[in-house]
Amino acid sequence: FHSFSKLMAYYRCAMMEIETKLNVLNQEFSLRYDRNPISSIKSRMKTPASIREKLTRRGIDVTVENIEACLNDVAGVRVICAFPEDVRTLTKALLKQDDVELIEKKDYILNPKPNGYRSLHLIVAVPIYLAHEKRKMRVEIQLRTIAMDFWASLEHQMRYKKNTLFTPDMEKELFAWRSADGSEILAFRADADGVGKYNHQTEDFIRMNRERLDSCDHDLMVVYGGEKMVQAREGEGSGK
């Protein structure tokens, strides 16, 4: 038990290292471009039950050594950005750092999953500095836009909600919501000066689908503020 707790502490340290790096980049871009590319950063650790289930499913013995050797997503960080270009900019800046080693990259933005899911997944190794040693630990990083996160959360709620049948028609309709024009539901445009301009697609999407979202008992409209979010983005775009 002590060895497992120590390993989990190492993963938490690695997760904090990644969060710090991202916060530093966010601050730098805020000073350089007068806006923050990161809307939020969320972190999570896999539960012991989830770790056990994943190793068992793969036919691997559940040991501390196998956890570290065979699992890449024990520690996870999710980065929510405003625009797709922010995802690319942050990824490039993070991977340029000489103490960040890229282990694996899966681009579900360029190549969405069949169900419509989009996100950029990175497995990286970062060093953590302990009192008497330096260790490299792996962390999974998911980068996506607000719209992609909104869609992924809604899809998960609809697909896995108890006592609800997720039909093929619902899946097709949800896939159609993923992108009305091949880009983003939350659509902003930038002029030559890089000033974000509000696109009424956002308001139309929220208005048309409010009843459907509410019928799923989904709380994303509260989390993101519904029209308040739209008004806030308008204010950001106009420099208010």
Alpha helices in the chain (DSSP H): 2-33, 48-57, 64-70, 84-95, 146-160, 168-178, 201-215, 220-224, 227-238
Answer yes or no: 184 catalytic.
no
Task: Return the number of other C-beta atoms located less than 10 Å from residue 96's C-beta.
Answer: 8
What does each C-alpha distance from 71 to 55, 66, 93, 218 come to in angstroms? 8, 8, 25, 31
CA nearest neighbour of 108 among 82, 144, 76: 144
Active-site pick, 17, 140, 155, 184: 140
234 to 77, 145, 199, 203: CA distances (angstroms): 28, 17, 9, 11
SS3 content of the chain, % helix, strand, coil (to 5): 50, 20, 30
Of 137, 239, 140, residue with least CA distance to 193: 239
CA terminus-to-terminus distance, the chain: 54
Q: Active-site residue numbers?
A: 140
